[in-house]
């Protein structure tokens, strides 16, 4: 069972990891384009697959980095929010019968998810969300990211974790027969 869960977690981690990398890079290039920040792209010597982006001065780098960090966090927060909404409203064990009937009539019953699937997804998205918060905190400590971004990210991540914990509590009560 543990091996199956680990494989499921790895499987669930692919899409969020790619989404965060793409979000970070798109944020960097979009900000550079709209704010007219000149940069160069070179091959990286250490990790040859990843590009090395260089800016002309530190101020341009800090501005681009802040917006790309914000974009990366937004991607992590939106993915986590999607999973939490599914866990809270479309969870197989406690979906309201009226909503479930409406989803079936609209042929959208695939939105209803079992605990096994939801909890693996939520664990991965929350992990990536908190890793992003830690990255932002370190970046703030190094004076690259504005403190407001890190504080906001922490508050959002803490609230998402709390809402998900409430869903787990509801699931435990249902399995114990208290509801």
CA 166, 170, 172, 176 dihedral sign is positive
- Tell me, what's the pLDDT at 1? 61
Domain spans in the chain, listed from the N-terminal domain onward: 2-176
Q: Does residue 112 come out as left (phi exceeding 0), alpha (psi in the -120 to 50 range) or beta?
A: beta
- Tell me, what's the pLDDT at 41? 81
- Tell me, what's the pLDDT at 179? 58
54 SS3 class: strand
Residue 179 neighbours by CB under 8 Å, 6+ apart: 94, 170, 173
Residue 87 neighbours by CB under 8 Å, 6+ apart: 113, 118, 119, 122, 164, 167
| Per-residue pLDDT tens listing for the chain (179 residues) | 667 777 777 777 888 999 999 999 899 989 999 999 988 888 777 767 777 788 888 899 899 999 999 999 999 999 999 999 888 877 777 777 787 778 778 887 777 777 777 888 888 999 999 999 999 999 999 999 999 999 999 999 999 999 999 888 887 887 777 65
- Tell me, what's the pLDDT at 156? 97
């Amino acid at each position: 069972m543990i091996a199956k869960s680990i494989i499921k977690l790895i499987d669930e981690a692919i899409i969020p990891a790619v989404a965060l990398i793409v979000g970070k890079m798109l944020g960097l290039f979009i900000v550079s384009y709209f704010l007219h920040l000149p940069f160069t792209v070179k091959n990286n010597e250490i990790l040859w697959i990843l590009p090395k982006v260089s800016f002309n001065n530190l101020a341009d780098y800090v501005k681009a980095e802040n917006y790309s960090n914000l974009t990366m966090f937004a991607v992590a927060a939106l993915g986590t929010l999607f999973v939490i909404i599914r866990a809270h409203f479309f969870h197989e064990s406690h979906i309201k019968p009226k909503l479930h009937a409406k989803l079936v009539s609209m042929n959208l019953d695939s939105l209803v998810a079992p605990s096994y699937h939801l909890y693996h997804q939520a664990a991965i998205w929350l992990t990536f969300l908190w890793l992003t918060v830690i990255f932002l905190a370190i970046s703030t400590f190094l004076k690259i990211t504005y403190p407001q971004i890190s504080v906001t990210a922490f508050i959002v991540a803490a609230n998402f974790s709390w809402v998900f914990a409430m869903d787990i509590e509801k699931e435990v009560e249902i399995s114990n027969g208290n509801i």
